[in-house]
Amino acid sequence: MSRVAVVTGAARGIGAAVVRQLAGSGWRVVAVDVCADLPGADYSLGTREQLRELAEQWPDAVRDVVADVRDEAAVRRAVEVAVTEFGGVDAAVAAAAVMAGGRPLWETTDEEWDALFDVGVRGVANLARATVPVMLEKPQPRTGRFVALASSAAHRGLYHLAGYNAAKHAVVGLVRGLATDLRGTGITATAVSPGSTRTDMLTATAACYDLADVEEFSRHQLVERLLEPEEVAAAVCWLCAEESSAITGTVVHADGGFTA
């Protein structure tokens, strides 16, 4: 029987790459995205058309759901799609996040702070609250997986991105606490910390620094290039698999050597 995943932030970027790889490997996936721009994030987010096109590539395997991860009830409704149409949840991937910054912490607005934490931290918690009880309903031996996208910013201070730093540190702390809560259940919780990856969020980060070209970020990574979303997605998808059972409560650094 195919395994089932719920993926947030799925319209584009790493989230979309995760959906494509899981669906291409025989998973059934509920792809979730807000498909709207949000206050505090000064760039365009994924669209309804992008999310729909992703689902249309695998009409039998992917369901597209428009939902705001800040709204716990909306996340629960998205998870219910996985239960009613695919029979349950085996993995949850919290990839929804936004970028805001470009100024020192004392000049960061409440609107930017709220966007960073409500999407990037509360959204992760909401997905865990909605999916973990469903995974716990399965009998032992369980193989449920919860994977959250953190960032190299969860491990290094980045100039004029203190709010983003704080939110991503919070994701790592949340995952470690969740993994401890899940002790002995067979369900694991992990984080993946990408480095500079060729996504719209990286373009927004470049704008924070008034950079004309995202390629300037590549010099911070040992691979001396930007990562592609598919490379990070490969790490996420492996953590979703039953074979990743030894990994929990920790971070996989898919960062091209940024934190080496």
Q: What share of the chain has pLDDT > 90, as a percent?
A: 99
Is 53 a member of any domain?
Answer: yes
Is 260 a member of any domain?
Answer: no
Q: What average pLDDT does range 186-212 have in this prediction? A: 96
Active-site residue, 164 included: yes
What is the reported pLDDT for 175?
98
pLDDT at 162 over 90: yes
Is 61 a member of any domain?
Answer: yes
How many residues are given for the chain?
Answer: 260
Residue burial 45-65, b: 16+ Cβ < 10 Å; e: rest: bbeeebbeebbeebeebbbbb
Specify the 3-state DSSP secondary structure of 179: helix
Q: Using an 8 Å Cβ cutoff, are 124 and 93 in contact?
A: no
CATH number, domain with residue 23: 3.40.50.720
Count of domains in the chain? Answer: 1
Specify the 3-state DSSP secondary structure of 23: helix
Q: What share of the chain has pLDDT > 70, as a percent?
A: 100
Q: Report how far residue 125's alpha carbon sits from residue 173's, in angstroms, rounded to the nearest whole number.
A: 11
- Helices H, strands E: what count in the chain? 8, 7
Closest CA to 239 of 229, 248, 231, 228: 248
Q: What average pLDDT does range 203-212 have in this prediction? A: 93
Residue from 43, 159, 164, 209 carrying the catalytic annotation: 164
Query: What is the extent of the structural domain holding 94?
Result: 4-254
What is the reported pLDDT for 1?
75
pTM over the 0.95 mark = yes
- How do residues 67-124 score in pLDDT, each as one tens digit? 999 999 999 999 999 999 999 999 999 999 999 999 999 999 999 999 999 999 999 9
- H helices of 58-94, in order, are 72-86
Closest CA to 240 of 49, 94, 114, 86: 94
